[in-house]
Every structure is written in structure tokens, then in C-alpha cells.
Amino acid sequence: MMTTTTPTSVDSHRPPLGWFVSDCVAIGKRQIKTFLRSPSTFFFALFQPVLFVLLFSFVFGGAIPIGNGLNYREFLLPGIFAQTVTFAVAAATVGIAEDAQKGIMDRFRTLPVNQASVMVGRSFSEMVERIMVISIMSLTGLVVGWRTHTPWTQVLGGYGIYLLFAYALTWTGLFVGLTVPNVQVAQTAGVAWVFPLTFLSNVFVPTKGMPHFLQVFAEWNPISSVALAGRQQFGNPVVGVGTSWPTQHAALLAVGWSLTLIAVFSTLAVRRFKAKRD
Amino acid sequence: MTLAIEARGIDKTFDGVRALVGIDLDVEQGTVVGLLGPNGAGKTTMVRILSTLILPTAGYAKVAGFDVVTQSDEVRKSIGLTGQYAAVDEFLTGRENLRMFGSLYHLPGKLAKARADELLEQFSLTDAADRTLKTYSGGMRRRLDLAASLIATPSILFLDEPTTGLDPRSRLGMWEVINSLVATGTTVLLTTQYLEEADQLASRIVVIDRGAVIANGTSDELKTQVGGDRLEVVMKDAQSLAACADALRPLASSEIVTTAVTRTVVAPVAGGSAVLPDAIRALDAAGIQFADIALRRPTLDDVFLSLTGHVAEEEEAASGKKRRRKGAGA
Ligand SMILES: Nc1ncnc2c1ncn2[C@@H]1O[C@H](COP(=O)(O)OP(=O)(O)OP(=O)(O)O)[C@@H](O)[C@H]1O
Ligand SMILES: [Mg+2]
């Protein structure tokens, strides 16, 4: 049989799960370094969140009365958080499409590792960027007068919902990035689905005033659930929600949506990555 | 004799485009085979199939004794791939790239570090080791790319146009590296557009055109088939063409061709570079004045012309432009 050169002493004692974790870490480390050194980071992780918070709170801040003397800015910000977290996912889509267009994906795909680790490692490292986005948004929010009014445990729960949702969207974004033919398409496709989804939601206005079919859509829209859950967790104004099931169970629905998206899109993305053999 | 690579009847169709048509390929363990062909011939497609990146439409291939379709995990344990386009991370330094791949190949931490340093040294990249790849020249990137595929000392190495885009000095350096790998017993399948390169590195050459094998043999066999070296003499005027041909006749291995428009005499010759001084002496003795004289080795164009009766075509020249653009952007 093959009397080939011995592979450079591969350490075979570790169990497969151990290898899986260490592969994820190696991929994740690369991702984080790339992220910190890439110029687009400045735009996606710093500029965009600050811009969104400032723009929307000053442009719409005084213009839309939500009644009862409630503070619109405090109503708006948890929605803007959900919207910005969603927009930030475009970075994941563009990033993976860029990698696929370069040769590096090919090298990953010729590695003798469980290929899923390439995607899983990446999904976790993307969260570093999302955490940055959420922190910067919150700080900017505090500057423009947004406050939380609940015990810290509940505030933490609110952030947990945003993070889980961000993770779910990351998988969605990675799948889209693996599906598009090139980076140019990724730049468009990365945000194309985000626009209708964020505007047909309760981010800017209460859903109560919408035409019926839009209202149903907006109430079930995961971004609405996350925004509403955020408002509740932070003790920000909750208005015009009605009595429908999705508005009565916002936090549950937000978590449910996130878990479902994670299950569906992580499976699809990993399968897509492995099966990219045409 | 053990085959490191064995492919039979490989077909590949990309939505209607037949990129490969029934390719057979054998690579004996420990040897270098050169896959030679013009732009669009199907070289990259073949390498991608053998390195488990894409699936063949028909046919089967074994690499290191494992089927590339059904046992791709096993195949990946024995191979290294340096693709046509750089497969390293721009934002990482040379060292970081190598260490990352070391850990992905499951080398223990210490060994991964040592191996990275060793390869950086071997590829003369030690000085640039801690700079991000964005600051690397094309040749440096290419070397790092090759280094990355050697991290785990693969027994079978695929090199897709390893020297395209390199300056002559870097090309020679790359040839040296490849030769030293072969000396340690590595099996190499390399693709190239240059006969000279295949000649330098490969013990056997497989010529493909439009997805099919059109010739297969040692470099000597191919050259004989093409007609070997040619002596080209450019005259000062067309009158002395016949006299020149007469003077060169004893040295020619077959018929001499004279072309009045270009004032050239082309004589197929055997015996390598020793022919040149002989020819000059013969012409001198006959008192013939010439403008230029040169010994030409067969080029890929000659191989093509003689094997297919057509030159590498326009359509392929166009895809060559595309390739260069892509290469420059990477
Ligand atoms: N993914 C693809 N989709 C459609 N056609 C493809 C694809 N990959 C390759 N082809 C086609 O298959 C043929 C062979 O391409 P391949 O890249 O293998 O050639 P090559 O010999 O490597 O050329 P080059 O010297 O330019 O690298 C070409 O006609 C090319 O257009
Ligand atoms: Mg090619």
C-alpha cells in the first residue's frame, strides 16, 4: 500500500468533539482578527449603529406622537436596536461571500476536519461584532436620553433576547452569503430582505394603526417581537399592541423565532457549505 | 508500482459547458506529473475534482487509494492543494496564516509553531513573517500559499499554475522548492501553461485541450512528437535563403523550411544547444551573412499546432484576460 511520508505527527488522542471545538476556536480566532483589522468594520460595527440611533431619534424623535405624553425616543430605541442588529448581519453575508470568492474557502474545504466547524466557528466569532454593535448602540442611546427602568436582571434578559436574535440572523446571513453567486450580489442581497422586514414592523410606529393584513404580518414579524420584548424588558413605553397572541407573548415569540431560525439556517448553511461541490 | 492518483473517464459538465471529456490520468507515487494546457483547457477543473472540491459528472478517481467522491474525508488527509488563486487570509500575517492552518491540521501547538517557522525560513519569508499579507508581493503571497499547503507534510500535492504571475527569479525559486519536495518523496500533480516548466519539473506530461487528453508521455517523447528543437536563422536578404538552407542541411534532423517574406530559414535539429556553434561555423564556412540566429525550443504553441492542428484560440485568449484580472484582484 501507500508508503507515503508520515504526516507531521497528528495528535490523535483527542476525542472528535474536542477537535471540533478546537477547530471552531481556530476558525473563530481568524475571523476575529480579520474583523478587527478590516476597514469595513468601522462602517458596520461603529458608524452604522451610531448613525442609526442618532438619525432616527432626531429625525423621528419629535415628529411622531404616540400619545399619553409618552416619550417617543424611549419607544423608538429598543426598535432601532432590533433594526440595527438586523442590518449588521449584512457584514456576515458579505464577509462569507468574499471568502468564497477568494481561494480561502477552498482551502478550508480541503482540510481533513469536520467541515461544520468552519461554519460554527464563524457564527460565534461574528457575535463579537454584534456585541460591539449592541454596546455602541446602547451607549449612543444613553447619550440621546434613552434609559432603562427595570431591575438589572430584567435588562440583562432584554440584552439576552437581542443577542440570541442576532445569532439567529447571523446564520441567516451566512446562508444567504453562501447562496449568492458573488460579492456584488451579496452586498445587495445582504440587506434586500432586511428593509421590508424592519419597516413592516413595530420599530417606528405601533402596529395598531396599520391596515389589518399588514398588522398581522407586523405582529408576527420577529423584529417586532424582539423590539416589543426589548421595550418590556427595559421598561420603555409599550403602546398600541392590542390583544393578539404575538403581542401578548413577545418575549416567548422572540426566543421561539430565534431558536427556529438558528435550527433552520444553521442546518441549511452547513449543508450548503459541505455540498458546494456542484 | 503504486498509483497515488488514478482517474478514469472523468467527465465534468457545468450547466451545459463540457469542461472535461473522459479524462484518464495516472500518477505514480513519488513522481511529478505535469498537466499542460492553454486557458480553458480544464486543468483547474481536473485539480478541483481530484482535491474533492467539486464532483465529477461521470467517471471515478482515486487519490491515495481513496475514492474522491465517496471517501473525500480520507482523501483530504493525504493531500495539499495550492489553487490557482491565493488561498490565504489577507488580514492575517504570514505566521498567523501558517499557525492557523497548522492547528486546523491538528498539529499540537508547539509543533504547529515550529513548522510555521520552518516553512517561513524555507520560503525566505522570515523577514515578512509578521506583516499582514496585504503588504506582500504576488510572489511572496504565492510562496506563502504553497507553504500553507505543506503544513501537514501531505504525501500528494496539487499545484495549480504555481508560477503564473511570478517574475523569472521567483519562478526559479518556486521550481527549486518543488524539486526539493519531490526529493523527499512527495507526489505532485502540477498544472501549467508552459512546456518549459513541465519539462523542468515533471517526469511525465499530460497535455489537455478542450477537456480531453491529446498527448501523454515524457517530455522527450512529446518533443520528438512535436519535432524537437528548431534552428531559426533570419537572413539580411531573401536571395541567400537557399544557400543558407544548403549549409544547414547536414545539421538538420528533417526537412528545412524557408520563408521568403520573413527571410527565415527554420531547420529542425536534434542534439541540444551544441548545434548552435556548429551552425554558426557551417554558415561562416559557406560565407553566409545572417541577421540573427537562434535555437528555439518547442513552445506550447508548437505542441498545440502539431498535436491539434490549431493554435490556442481567441475564446481562450479572452478567458486568459479574465483570469489575469481575477488574479490581480485577489
Ligand atoms: N464553475 C464553472 N461554471 C461554468 N463553467 C466553468 C466553471 N468552471 C470552469 N468552467 C469552464 O470549464 C472550462 C475549463 O475551465 P478550467 O478553469 O478548468 O480551465 P483551465 O485549464 O484551468 O484554464 P486556465 O488556464 O485559464 O486556468 C472553461 O471553458 C470554463 O469556462
Ligand atoms: Mg485554471
Across the range A162-172, mean pLDDT stands at 96
Q: Tens of pLDDT along B75-86? A: 999 999 998 888
Give the end of a domain, one of B197, B223, B249: B223
Q: Quick check: helix, strand or coil at residue B170?
A: helix
pLDDT of B306 strictly over 90: no
Asked whether the beta carbons of residue B152 and residue A9 sit closer than 8 angstroms, the reply is no
Angle formed by the axes of helices B275-285 and B241-248, to 10°? 130
What is the tens place of the pLDDT at every residue in B251-269?
Answer: 888 888 888 888 999 888 8
Q: B280 and B173 share a domain?
A: no
| CA dist A272 → A22, A53, A179, A266, B326 (Å) | 22, 35, 8, 10, 24
Query: Residue B250 is part of a domain; what is its CATH number?
Result: 3.30.70.100
Answer yes or no: is B144 within a domain: yes
Q: Which three cell numbers stand for residue A178?
A: 453562501
What is the four-CA torsion angle of B174, B179, B180, B183, rounded to 10 degrees? 170
Q: Give pLDDT, residue B96.
A: 95
Atom of ligand 1 nearest to the CA of B42: 18
Quick one: average pLDDT of B49-72?
94
Structure ipTM over 0.85, yes or no: no
Between A183-192 and A152-179, two packed helices, what is the crossing angle to 10 degrees? 140
Exposed e or buried b for every residue in A77-88, given b needs 16+ CB within 10 A?
Answer: bbbbbbbbbbbb
Q: Which domain holds residue B116?
A: 3-223
DSSP H helical segments within chain B, as ranges?
A: 43-50, 72-78, 94-104, 109-122, 138-150, 168-183, 195-201, 219-226, 241-248, 275-285, 300-308, 314-329
Q: Are residues B20 and B90 in the same domain?
A: yes
pTM of the model: 0.80
Going from N- to C-terminal start, the domains of chain A cover 22-62+72-277
Strand partners, B160: B191
B243 with B208, same domain: the answer is no
Q: Which of A8, A14, A38 sits opposite B115 (nearest CB)?
A: A8
Distance CA B68, CA B7 (A): 10
Encoded amino acid at A170, one letter: T
Residue pair A196/A115 in contact by the 8 Å Cβ criterion = no
Average pLDDT along chain B: 86
**Nearest residue (CA) to ligand 1, atom 22:** B44
Q: Closest-lying ligand to the alpha carbon of B45? A: 1
Name the one residue in this structure whose C-alpha cell is 442609526: A52
Most confident of A3-7, B74-78, B225-229: B74-78
Q: For position B240, what pLDDT does the model report?
A: 86
Ligand with the closest atom to the CA of A276: 1
Question: Is there a domain that residue B279 lies in?
Answer: yes
Residue B186 and residue B270 share a domain: no
Give chain B's domain count. Answer: 2
B124 found inside a domain = yes
> Would residue B283 count as lying in a domain?
yes
Same domain, residue pair B71 and B155? yes
Q: Would the CB of B219 count as within 6 Å of ligand 1? A: no
Residue B165 lies in a domain: yes
> What pLDDT, on the 0 to 100 scale, is given for residue A264?
97
Domain CATH number, residue B17: 3.40.50.300
B224 or A120, higher pLDDT: A120
The answer to whether the beta carbons of residues B281 and B301 sit under 8 Å apart is no
In a shared domain, residues B145 and B254: no
Collapse the DSSP code of A53 into the 3-class scheme (helix H, G, I; strand E, B; otherwise coil) and give the result.
Answer: helix
Per residue in A86-144, pLDDT tens?
Answer: 988 888 898 899 888 888 888 898 888 888 999 999 999 999 888 988 999 999 999 98
In a domain, B173, yes or no: yes
Residue of B90, B72, B63 whose CA lies nearest to B145: B90
Nearest CA to ligand 1 atom 4: B14
* Better-predicted residue by pLDDT, A62 or B126: B126
Q: Quote the pLDDT of residue A277.
A: 64
Asked if B104 and A6 come within 8 Å (Cβ–Cβ), the reply is no
CA B262 to chain centre: 31
> CA of B280 to nearest chain A CA: how many angstroms apart?
50
